[in-house]
């Protein structure tokens, strides 16, 4: 164990606003000593629970377990946020070094024999105790956590289990760092007008800014593997050869020979997961993972995916035929390749709906869309956000917002980190520095949104595509789920819900972006200030279903391959080959392909949260499409009564209520599939609505 520095800012009082650390004072060398001390204190707190001479009850055992480890949680949250959003070689080394000790500690905590004996004793008498529904839920979740971590396994098997968890933590860290390295390593330099052909001004500006950030000037342009840059490049570039180069780099992350090759890393992760599942009596990891979900069983997930898949394939084929016809009309022969789809799809969309992404983007500046999302939160939930310039942040790009509740009380801090950079992992996500919890004395949560938008050129705004703006709203939906949480116990707070419920608040919030009154008020031209023309909004609405075949097949393919590979009971020697064979068996169109290929599928392998669980976005879309219909039925997207039910039963309750109960309390019934199929345009072509 490292020596503790005489002054370690992670172990002194965090006196910055909202209990944040002094980021400027933090050094990578502070983390291992601080984590070691925090783990020691956590175990001491649990030993105190274990040695309590009083009979185990809710207060002295269950609530005490929930309180323990608060310091470790906060320090680990700082490390995780920095490692994801503003990393360095030194911090990555710390992350690798910390992975195994933290996993070993987690196993020691959940397998603590005396603590689990007390927890189990309370659990066995739970029906005879006078517990509130939230206390009952906490008891059940903590007991489930411990059992799933191996607390009921024989001691020898517990030791094997704990070692496997340590190795998994190290491998997951390595997987994520390999993907980041491949993304940071690639740059496609565009030389001259011939290689810029077809790119509208906003793509050129983003590529010019990316070049400047990499030290290239004098009019240089660079395409990176940042989704907000590479997808527009694939959509507009007239250079098919360059589109192919960019596409192959994008889908090939984690699959190159050398130190960043993730194929064997993923193989070993799958082997260990299979061992863990079998230790719990399950045939495969998919069965183990889904046993603690709303779905419960593979069959329930496959029923949903198969139903949508069979409807999406014909829709994607109709789109492919339209793209081929457009190619032919432009004198292009040959087959449609994966790097062609977005390019020709944009041309069909423009021809059919008179929609051009370059026409829409000037109305979707990042600043205006941030105003829109916080205004929607105000109108729905009565909260308001004010910028805080005195709050320490870990990078100059990060904006701090204080949230005030409906009666004007300070209720949380929202940190927004919107831009791509080489020190940040790809994608978009919500995380926290601390969740709200009465039991831990945390009244004001600190929640973070990360996006990876391509920053505008100096002096110019960052312009978003409509998809980017949806991502902004999506992540803010997660953020609100954390910020609006009002529960008693840390373990039940915010987004710590069952995995196939966590995407409901985020996907539901996306619906407000496309409301005409929201666009009229907030979508304004960045140069003239004029609101987006209503005829353009109408064309956007008309075009919403275009491309849903492609998007649905691409997504479902990833979800089905995820389920397939985690349903294996034997070794998967070559994950790339497995992927190819699975897609062939499904009938995946070659020009569509998976949204995330296995070698860079961080949802699955950079952690276990979405392993066997990538289906959750579609599962949640069934919920969110049905849930938004409550506002449609009320005749007002901001109906106060419906919004209050939404706040009370979905956003504020965390995991203090079982998700089925939470949803039916809001909606009055369980969800129906029909609204999802209608939203995606898949309840057509003679197929009955489910």
Which of these, 371, 373, 595, lies nearest to 472 by C-alpha position? 373
The counts of H helices and E strands in the chain are 28, 7
Helix-, strand-, coil-residue percentages of the chain, each rounded to 5: 60, 5, 35
HSE-up of residue 163 (Cα within 13 Å, Cβ side): 6
Strand partners, 386: 402
Instruction: Give the tokens for residue 428.
Output: 């978009």
Q: Residue 162, Cβ neighbours under 10 Å: how many?
A: 21
Q: Is 476 exposed, middle or buried (0-12, 13-18, 19+ CB in 10 A)?
A: buried
| E strand or H helix that includes residue 211 | helix 201-213
Contact in structure between 597 and 579 (CB atoms under 8 Å): yes
C-alpha distances in Å from residue 216, one per residue of 219, 426, 431: 8, 22, 33
Backbone angles phi, psi at 413, to 5 degrees: -120, 135
Instruction: Give the tokens for residue 309.
Output: 């898949």
Looking only at the bridges linking them, the beta strands covering 446-453 and 429-434 are: antiparallel
Please list the alpha-helical segments (H only) found in 424-496.
466-483
Backbone angles phi, psi at 202, to 5 degrees: -70, -30
Question: What is residue 442's three-state secondary structure?
Answer: strand
Rounded to an integer, what distance in angstroms lies between the CA atom of residue 78 and that of residue 69? 15
Query: What are the residues whose beta carbons fall under 8 Å from the beta carbon of 444, sequence distance 6 or more?
Result: 18, 410, 411, 412, 413, 436
Residue with tokens 């993304």: 183
Q: What is the DSSP letter of 3?
A: P
Q: What is the DSSP letter of 13?
A: -
Q: Report the chain's C-alpha Rg in angstroms.
A: 25
Which residue among 319, 475, 510, 621 is the active-site one?
A: 475
* Catalytic residue list contains 475: yes
Rounded to an integer, what distance in angstroms lies between the CA atom of residue 284 and that of residue 649? 34
Contact in structure between 258 and 271 (CB atoms under 8 Å): no
CA-CA-CA-CA torsion sign (310, 314, 319, 324): positive
Active site positions, annotated: 475
């Amino acid at each position: 164990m490292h020596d503790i520095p005489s002054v370690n800012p992670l172990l002194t009082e965090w006196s910055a606003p909202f209990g944040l650390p002094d980021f400027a004072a933090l050094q990578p060398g502070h983390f291992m000593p601080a984590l070691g001390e925090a783990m020691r204190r956590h175990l001491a707190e649990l030993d105190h629970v274990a040695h309590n001479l009083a009979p185990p009850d809710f207060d002295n055992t269950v609530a005490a377990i929930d309180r323990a480890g608060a310091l470790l949680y906060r320090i680990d949250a700082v490390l995780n946020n920095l490692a994801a959003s503003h990393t360095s070689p030194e911090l990555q080394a710390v992350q690798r070094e910390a992975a195994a000790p933290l996993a070993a500690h987690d196993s020691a905590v959940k397998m603590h024999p005396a603590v689990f004996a007390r927890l189990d004793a309370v659990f066995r008498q739970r029906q005879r105790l006078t517990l509130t529904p939230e206390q009952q839920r906490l008891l059940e979740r903590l007991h489930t956590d411990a059992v799933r971590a191996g607390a009921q396994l024989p001691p020898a098997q517990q030791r094997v289990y704990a070692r496997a968890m340590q190795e998994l933590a190290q491998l997951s860290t390595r997987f994520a760092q390999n993907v980041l390295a491949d993304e940071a390593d690639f740059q496609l330099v565009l030389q001259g007008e011939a290689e810029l052909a077809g790119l509208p001004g906003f793509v050129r500006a983003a590529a010019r800014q990316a070049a400047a950030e990499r030290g290239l000037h004098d009019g240089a342009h660079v395409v990176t593997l940042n989704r907000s840059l590479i997808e527009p490049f694939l959509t507009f570039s007239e250079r098919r050869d360059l589109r192919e180069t960019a596409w192959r780099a994008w889908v090939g992350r984690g699959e190159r020979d050398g130190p960043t090759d993730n194929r064997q890393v993923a193989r070993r992760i799958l082997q260990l997961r299979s061992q863990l599942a079998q230790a719990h009596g399950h045939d495969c990891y998919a069965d183990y993972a889904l046993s603690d979900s709303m779905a419960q069983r593979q069959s329930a997930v496959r029923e949903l995916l198969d139903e949508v898949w069979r409807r999406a394939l014909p829709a994607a084929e109709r789109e492919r035929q339209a793209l081929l016809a457009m190619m032919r009309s432009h004198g292009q022969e040959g087959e449609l390749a994966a790097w062609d789809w977005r390019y020709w799809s944009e041309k069909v969309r423009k021809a059919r709906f008179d929609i051009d992404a370059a026409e829409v983007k000037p109305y979707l500046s990042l600043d205006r869309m941030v105003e829109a999302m916080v205004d929607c939160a105000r109108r729905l939930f009565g909260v308001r956000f004010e910028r805080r310039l005195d709050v320490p942040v870990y990078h100059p790009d990060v904006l701090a917002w204080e949230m005030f509740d409906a009666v004007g009380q300070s209720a949380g801090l929202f940190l927004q980190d919107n831009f791509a950079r080489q020190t940040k992992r790809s994608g978009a996500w919500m995380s926290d520095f601390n969740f709200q919890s009465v039991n831990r004395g945390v009244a004001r949560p600190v929640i973070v949104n990360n996006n990876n938008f391509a920053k505008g050129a100096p002096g110019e705004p960052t312009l978003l595509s409509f998809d980017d703006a949806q991502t902004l709203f999506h992540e803010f939906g997660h953020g609100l789920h954390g910020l609006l949480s009002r529960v008693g116990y840390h373990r039940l707070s915010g987004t710590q819900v069952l995995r196939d419920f966590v995407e409901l608040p985020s996907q539901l919030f996306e619906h407000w972006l496309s409301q005409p009154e929201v666009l009229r008020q907030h979508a304004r031209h960045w140069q003239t200030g004029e609101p987006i023309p209503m005829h353009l909004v109408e064309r956007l609405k008309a075009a919403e279903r275009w491309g849903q075949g492609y998007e649905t097949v691409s997504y479902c393919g990833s979800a089905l391959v995820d389920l397939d590979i985690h349903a294996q009971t034997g070794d998967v020697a070559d994950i790339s080959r497995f992927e190819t064979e699975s897609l062939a068996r499904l009938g995946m169109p070659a020009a569509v392909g998976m949204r995330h290929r296995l070698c860079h599928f961080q949802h699955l392998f950079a952690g276990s949260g979405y392993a066997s669980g990538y289906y959750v976005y579609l599962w949640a879309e069934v919920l969110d499409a049905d849930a938004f219909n409550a506002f449609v039925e009320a005749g007002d997207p901001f109906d106060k009564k419906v919004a209050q039910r939404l706040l009370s039963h979905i956003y504020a309750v965390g995991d203090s209520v079982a998700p089925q109960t939470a949803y039916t309390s809001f909606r009055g019934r369980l969800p129906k599939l029909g609204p999802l199929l209608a939203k995606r345009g898949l309840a057509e072509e003679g197929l009955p609505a489910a």
